[in-house]
Chain A
Amino acid sequence: MDVELLARLRKGDEQAFVMLVGRYQQPMLRLARSFVPSQAVAEEAVQDTWMGVVRGLEGFEGRSSFKTWLFQILVHRAQSAGSREKTNIPLERLPVVDPVRFDAQGQWADPVERWTEDVENRLDAVTWLPFLKAALDDLPPNQRQVVMLRDIEGLSSEEACSVLGISSGNQRILLHRGRSRLRGLLDAEMERH
């Protein structure tokens, strides 16, 4: 579908642009925001990216998915705007579940409650989505970037690595930390209900 929209965009079809913007503007803003200090700078980076896309369409060779290409351009612009130095040193593996949850033998001190039923019963009411969105926004930026690209945008690990310019090892560690943290927050929130 993106491919079709792109073909139309190349011919100057404004409606195709409107559809692409409708689909990607918010995810791009959210991704850009994780690299730069303010919403205004994020908006600028996103706008820059669209301009690059409209003017540089011929540069897209279809070697990656359009989405990956788009996010790569965005991250490149956001990174220069945010002037955050890119570190690619291997990340440490830190415990993702509070050690107090385990006994001296490393076994769960208290039973882990299944929340499948709970969540499924309330999925229609999307009770958890606002909470989850807020929790996602609170993740450290590098974890948020990976979780967004993988679990919201559905990129593969290779695509996420190429968008963010990180190693597959770091990508996995960030995904692990991010998902584990979201699980912990959801679990705590469910206990309150």
Chain B
Amino acid sequence: MLMLRRRDIVCQQAVELVTDYLEGALSRRNRRRFEAHLRACPNCSAYLEQIRTTVALTGSIKPEDLTPEARADLIDLYRRWRSQ
């Protein structure tokens, strides 16, 4: 956890708190400061939005389909394991 001494946080500190904020890992005090900063700062709001979009985009990565060969190999192995 970052220690924030002054009452207000600046952008450079805010970007370091983004993940702790999204993870719900900020202390109540730091969360309030972070949210206050967001309300006053369109840049950091945009930044947080970008992080959220990045997370959503990453979540849309889907595994590629197995090749028929790879699948057949695995089924062969399965049969061997079962018969042993």
In the complex, whether B50 has a CB less than 8 A from a CB of chain A is yes
CB of A91 closer than 8 Å to a CB of B: no
A interface, over-half SS: helix
Bin the interface of chain B by size.
Answer: 35 or more
Q: A54-B82, A93-B16 are in contact. Are A179 and B71 (CB under 8 A)?
A: no
Known contacts: A21-B66, A107-B10. The answer to whether A14 contacts B75 by CB under 8 A is yes
> Given A26-B64, A55-B81 in contact, is the A18-B58 Cβ separation under 8 Å?
no
Q: Chain B residues near A22 (CB, 8 Å)?
A: 65-66, 71
Smallest beta-carbon distance A148→chain B, Å: 9
- Bound-complex Cα distance A126 to B62 (A): 12
* Of the residues B12, B44, B63, contact of A112 by C-beta under 8 Å: B44
Are B54's CB and A179's CB within 8 A? yes
A1 at the interface (CB under 8 A from B): no
Is the pair B82, A106 in contact by a Cβ cutoff of 8 Å?
Answer: no
B13 within 8 A of A: yes
Q: How many residues of A contact B (CB 8 A)?
A: 54
User: How near does chain B come to A164, taking the closest CB pair, in angstroms?
Assistant: 16
Interface assignment of A25: CB less than 8 Å from any CB of chain B: yes
Verify if A42 is at the interface (C-beta below 8 Å from B). no
Give Cα A151–Cα B60 distance, bound, in whole angstroms: 9
Residues of A that sit less than 8 Å from B by CB: 12, 14, 17-18, 21-23, 25-27, 30, 47, 50-51, 54-55, 93, 95-97, 99, 102, 105-108, 111-116, 119, 123, 126, 128-129, 132-133, 136, 147, 151-152, 154, 157, 172, 175-176, 179-180, 182-183, 186-187
